Structure 1
Amino acid sequence: MNLSHIGFRATRREIKRENPDMSPQVSFEFFPPKTLEAAFRLHDTVQTLAPYGPRFVSVTYGAGGTTRALTREAAQTLHKTTGLRVAAHLTCVGASRDETLDVARGYAGTGITDIVALRGDAEEGAERFTPHASGFANSVELIEALAAEGQFNIKVGAYPERHPDAAHENADIDWLKAKLDAGASEAITQFFFDPEDFLRFRDKCAAAGIDKPITPGFLPIENWQSTKRFSAKCGASIPAALDDAFAKAARDGREELLAIAQATELCDALLCEGVEDLHFYTLNRPELTAKICTALGLEARAPLRNVA
């Protein structure tokens, strides 16, 4: 595994010097705090990353819809106090159609019209997703209902590698096309570690007639063993060379340096293939994401003056 790609980065940065406005657009995912300490952590995360000028920030819904009220509170606070464009996650889990749409309308009433519409994971204690008796059966139904409201900009999830629940090899492409045809305007992918996984997926999407933006998602590697466990649950494959590299970095005490190099290389490889937008799953740990943004040539501008 080549961890430098110095030539690619130098070329892109030489072009950027001649065209100062040529920079990737970034967005960040946060999760809602459950404790006072976590609320301060979110404050610090927003304060650290907002100066990079995100296209939007998203707030997750929690496994099984467990943080519905917390998501609403965090999203509305960020929208009201930061001036950032906020996209609130909304899932089909554990609520009727009317209840789910009431949540969406509540967001719109406070000025939040960006929704990340997802099926959602299984409820706590369940092995698989089961629709609410009066709820949406899948994300396509949710997207159709949100689109019918006529006031939402809808983003959806996409899977460069096979989703754990995918029925067959092309199911993820079929579902993505159905979601975009139902009214979504953009897809954000699950994280991955090999740029070819995204590029092959993008090619398959184009062949299927998908022409709406697909933004790659990135998970900064804070802890390699935790990342491997999380990846196994999400269906994200681990390149053997990357596993070996982190084993060596752990022995040398250079895990963070490798994490920055890995993420920068991965992002650069896609930027050189025409990708313009990057989405980071921050886990409310901003330091590594900020270092990656800086390594990509993004400049942190004036800090926020008023953050919740």
Structure 2
Amino acid sequence: MPAENIIDLLASSTGPTFSVEFFPPSDDAGVQQLLGALEALQPLEPDWVSVTYGATGASRYKTFSAVGALRGQTATSLIGHLTIAGQSKSDVVRAIEAYERLGVTHILALRGDPPRGESFVPHPEGLTSATELVTLIKSLGDFTVGVAAFPDGHPESTLELDAEILLAKERAGAEFAITQLFFDADAYAAMVARFRALGGTMPIIAGIMPITVPSQIERFASLSGSGMPAAFEAQLRSVADDRARFREVGIELVTDLCRQVIAAGAPGLQFFTLNRSTATHDILSRLRSTADALPA
């Protein structure tokens, strides 16, 4: 499929869009795993692919290398992530210019997280918020800009303030949002309703994390605002001693979550793949086999 503007894809699709997120690999073996995951998912025809961003010099290089590798393997639309944490404004401008040279016209504008246990402190020569980043990106070229949304609430904010900040991002030029991972469809629907009540109109894509191994329970519990609902977690813990059964239950729970957010009006699903393909493939196959399927 030739690369298209993501806003056009969201508007023209006959059902929810499907996309995948990768992270920049750290070595040659990781590059091969990334390209292998992309190859495995290509027959499913993702509407776009996104690549996360590293804020340090070395990790930024890995980001752009990964983007270049993906550009060489697929004509599918691609989103490059960009954060402001730990960077000067000139660093951020250079990153935007690097994306432009790579032919990337979609950027996900993020503030970026501080080290665990610390508060965000802007770079002394940097930007202070994702809203400022949206404004900067739009001023530097013909980019389509997305932002993050938080169904369970941002750990430094309130649900009401989150909605106001999301609206400010839209007014600064953001054209779509992708949520952080979540496991409660009601939280997604309530977040969208708060945003719409303020007059927000941009599409909000649901970010989906497949669950396949028991260690993910504790990992997500340690993420502020991203814990699992009690009943959801209980079903997983009940089979935690059986890895094969755990994977099956996790895949079905996340598939059901996808069904619920589609029923709630989600315009698309973005899967956080961790540079793997099997779980995403399994969930998507189950969705496409039912009446509420994604477009084939």
Normalised by the length of structure 2, the TM-score is 0.88
Contact kept? 1:117, 1:155, Cα under 8 Å: yes
Q: Displacement of 1:238 after TM fit?
A: 1.4
Contact kept? 2:176, 2:203, Cα under 8 Å: yes
Contact kept? 2:16, 2:295, Cα under 8 Å: no
Q: Distance in 2 between matches of 1:214 and 1:224?
A: 29
**Structure 2: stretches of 5+ with no match in the other structure:** 1-12
Q: Distance in 1 between matches of 2:209 and 2:57?
A: 22
Q: In the alignment, is residue 79 of structure 1 matched against residue 83 of structure 2? A: no
Secondary structure at the counterpart of residue 54 of structure 1: coil
1:271 aligns with 262
Q: Distance in 2 between matches of 1:263 and 1:250?
A: 16
Contact kept? 2:51, 2:79, Cα under 8 Å: yes
1:189 aligns with 179
Alpha-carbon RMSD = 2.2
Residue-by-residue CA offset, 1:69-121 (whole Å, 9 max, x unaligned):
11111112212331121111110022211221121112112211110110001
Number of equivalences = 279
1:134 aligns with 125
Which has the larger Rg? 1
Contact kept? 2:17, 2:295, Cα under 8 Å: no
Contact kept? 1:154, 1:185, Cα under 8 Å: yes
* Partner amino acid, structure 1, of 2:135: E
2:41 aligns with 49
Moved over 3 A (4+): 62-66, 298-301
Contact kept? 1:63, 1:121, Cα under 8 Å: no
Q: Distance in 1 between matches of 2:216 and 2:108?
A: 25
Normalised by the length of structure 1, the TM-score is 0.84
Secondary structure at the counterpart of residue 131 of structure 1: coil
Q: Residue 223 of structure 2: which of 214, 233, 238 is its match? A: 233
Q: Displacement of 1:222 after TM fit?
A: 2.2
Q: Displacement of 1:227 after TM fit?
A: 3.9
Q: Which has the higher contact order (CA 8 A, sep 6+)?
A: 1
Q: Displacement of 1:231 after TM fit?
A: 4.4
Q: Displacement of 1:62 after TM fit?
A: 3.5
Q: Displacement of 1:66 after TM fit?
A: 6.3
* Partner amino acid, structure 1, of 2:94: D
Identical-residue share of aligned pairs (%): 34
